[in-house]
């Protein structure tokens, strides 16, 4: 890690705020509702990011603050009470209601914790209320999930049972695959957090061994540690290498022989390598520039360099938790340039100067870069697609090879885009 080039940058950012993670969290827990307490901007952000119209009534919404709510705080609490009551009578199937703080609710210091506490008493046995902040002044994109999970920890019961706890939202099919593999390894009790139903929260305690599936859960990890959980340090299960080391780390924690792990995952690894071949052919030697957004950038860079043979120009990340990312940083090639934070204009200058073959960026930047003749992959897809695990390694690579392949098919370089 010492040989990496770590930089910090500040300035205007082009990154989503933590509210955006509601888009996948609500799908993970279909019995939960996410109520943002915010402005019309918050409502517009979520619907723009989520394509809400396909739902008759989505399982997330915004209590939009109006002028009269800003006048006096007591009013705002009462108003929120009224909105929640209406919501619950309309949607009796809701079991957990997340009150999600936003930039404006944080600035006016709306005390959502107190509101949640009051509501918990009123709806005891019917709906559970938790609160967290997804505000852009405190959180980026995926940090919203960190906040939501952290908010659930205090209501998770204690247990002394030995178990493996997978922490971080996974696609259901990936989760099933992982559980099957762990069972084959001899780890029988494997649970997930967040669970598929908000009411089925795992119990935790000193014999709970936590294995992270996502790299953006700093606060959740800290609070799980406080509850006595043991944290398994490992790279993240992206690509064959990351997933293998991830399984190995879990096996070690459960004192399972390394050979057994290799024996069980060997067939997976060899078929994954075959599947990866066609993508490596396209990606090999191509120069990659990752802009900060999903916080998966470091793991993706490691996968795309080590397994897909891409060259790394710059790896942007919204923030860097060196402890959590240590294993990943160790796997990066020497002198990789990592930039924490962003000054979007300066970073785009560097993109243009470095002439990359592929830029991983947000949706606001993708088409403008394409119009300049720079290939892009938008990063939000990474948090919606099943990309974790050995069996998904080729799918993950495909997300990056597809734009390059497409560019080979479409040869015109001088498009009029306006």
Per-residue HEC secondary structure of 297-342 comes to HHHHHHHHHHCCCCEEEEEEECCCCHHHHHHHHHHCCCCCEEEEEC
Helix axes 239-253 and 258-283, enclosed angle (nearest 10): 170
Query: In whole angstroms, how close is the CB of 45 to another protein at the nearest point?
Result: 5
Identity of the residue, 16 or 132, whose beta carbon is nearer to another protein in the bound complex: 16
CA gap 81, 107 in Å, rounded: 20
Query: In whole angstroms, how close is the CB of 367 to another protein at the nearest point?
Result: 4
Identity of the residue, 237 or 362, whose beta carbon is nearer to another protein in the bound complex: 362
Identity of the residue, 101 or 235, whose beta carbon is nearer to another protein in the bound complex: 101
Query: In whole angstroms, how close is the CB of 342 to another protein at the nearest point?
Result: 8
End-to-end CA distance of the chain: 44
- Residue 254: φ, ψ to 5°: -100, 15
Query: In whole angstroms, how close is the CB of 66 to another protein at the nearest point?
Result: 5
Identity of the residue, 38 or 202, whose beta carbon is nearer to another protein in the bound complex: 38
Query: In whole angstroms, how close is the CB of 40 to another protein at the nearest point?
Result: 4
Tokens of 234: 């490992």
Q: What is the DSSP secondary structure assignment for residue 153, as one 8-state letter?
A: G
Identity of the residue, 30 or 228, whose beta carbon is nearer to another protein in the bound complex: 30
For residue 376, give Cα distances in angstroms to 95, 167, 404. Answer: 40, 30, 9
Query: In whole angstroms, how close is the CB of 74 to another protein at the nearest point?
Result: 13
Query: In whole angstroms, how close is the CB of 4 to another protein at the nearest point?
Result: 25
Cα R_g (the chain), whole angstroms: 22
Identity of the residue, 34 or 193, whose beta carbon is nearer to another protein in the bound complex: 34
Q: Residue 72 half-sphere exposure, CB side, CA atoms within 13 Å?
A: 3
Sheet of 376-378: strands edge to edge? Answer: 5-9, 337-341, 311-317, 287-290, 358-361, 376-378
Where do contacts with another protein occur on this chain (CB under 8 A)?
11-20, 38-41, 43-45, 47-49, 52-54, 56-58, 60-67, 69-70, 76, 79-80, 82-83, 86-87, 103-104, 106-108, 135-138, 140, 345, 362-368, 370-371, 415, 417-418
Tokens of 71: 């006048």
Identity of the residue, 4 or 64, whose beta carbon is nearer to another protein in the bound complex: 64
CA gap 299, 321 in Å, rounded: 13
Identity of the residue, 186 or 368, whose beta carbon is nearer to another protein in the bound complex: 368
Query: In whole angstroms, how close is the CB of 214 to another protein at the nearest point?
Result: 19
- Report the SS3 class of residue 75: helix
Identity of the residue, 42 or 275, whose beta carbon is nearer to another protein in the bound complex: 42
**ω into residue 194 within 30 of 0, thus cis?**
yes
Identity of the residue, 6 or 49, whose beta carbon is nearer to another protein in the bound complex: 49
Alpha helices in 161-217, H assignment, sequence order: 172-185
Query: In whole angstroms, how close is the CB of 220 to another protein at the nearest point?
Result: 19
Classify residue 149 as left (phi > 0), alpha (psi -120 to 50) or beta.
alpha
The angle subtended at Cα 15 by Cα 13 and Cα 17, nearest 5°, is 115
CA gap 121, 87 in Å, rounded: 17
């Amino acid at each position: 890690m010492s040989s990496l080039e770590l930089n910090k940058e500040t300035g205007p950012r082009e990154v989503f705020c933590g509210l955006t993670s509601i888009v996948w969290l609500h799908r993970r827990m279909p019995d939960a509702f996410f109520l943002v307490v915010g402005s019309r901007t918050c409502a517009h952000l979520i619907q723009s990011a989520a394509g809400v119209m396909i739902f008759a009534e989505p399982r997330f919404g915004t209590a939009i603050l109006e002028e009269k709510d800003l006048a006096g705080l007591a009013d705002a609490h009462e108003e929120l009470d009224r909105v929640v009551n209406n919501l619950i009578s309309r949607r009796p199937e809701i079991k957990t209601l997340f009150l999600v703080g936003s930039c404006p609710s944080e600035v006016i210091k709306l005390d959502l914790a107190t509101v949640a506490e009051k509501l918990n008493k009123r709806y005891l046995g019917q709906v559970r209320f938790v609160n967290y902040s997804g505000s852009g002044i405190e959180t980026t994109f995926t940090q919203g999930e960190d906040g939501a999970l952290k908010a659930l920890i205090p209501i998770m019961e204690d247990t002394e049972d030995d178990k493996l706890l997978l922490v971080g939202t996974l696609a259901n099919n990936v989760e099933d695959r992982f559980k099957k593999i762990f069972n084959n390894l001899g780890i029988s009790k494997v649970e997930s957090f967040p669970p598929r139903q908000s009411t089925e929260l795992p119990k935790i305690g000193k014999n709970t061994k936590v294995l992270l599936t996502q790299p953006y859960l700093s606060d959740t990890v800290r609070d799980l540690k406080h509850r006595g959980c043991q944290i398994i340090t490992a790279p993240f299960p992206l690509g064959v290498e990351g997933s293998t080391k991830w399984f190995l780390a879990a096996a070690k924690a459960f004192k399972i022989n390394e050979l057994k792990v290799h024996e069980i995952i060997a067939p997976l690894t060899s078929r994954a390598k075959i599947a990866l071949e066609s993508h490596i052919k396209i990606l090999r030697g191509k120069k990659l520039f990752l802009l900060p957004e999903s916080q998966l950038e470091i793991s993706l860079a490691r996968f795309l360099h080590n397994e897909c043979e891409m060259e790394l120009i710059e790896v942007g990340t919204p923030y860097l938790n060196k402890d959590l990312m240590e294993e990943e940083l160790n796997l990066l090639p020497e002198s990789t340039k990592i930039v924490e934070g962003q000054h979007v204009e300066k970073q785009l200058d560097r993109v243009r100067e470095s002439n990359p073959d592929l830029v991983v960026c947000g949706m606001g930047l993708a088409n403008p870069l394409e119009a300049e003749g720079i290939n892009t992959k938008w990063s939000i897809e990474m948090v919606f697609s099943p990309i974790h695990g050995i069996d998904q390694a080729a799918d993950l690579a495909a997300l990056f090879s597809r734009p390059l392949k497409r560019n080979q098919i479409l040869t015109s370089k001088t498009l009029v885009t306006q």
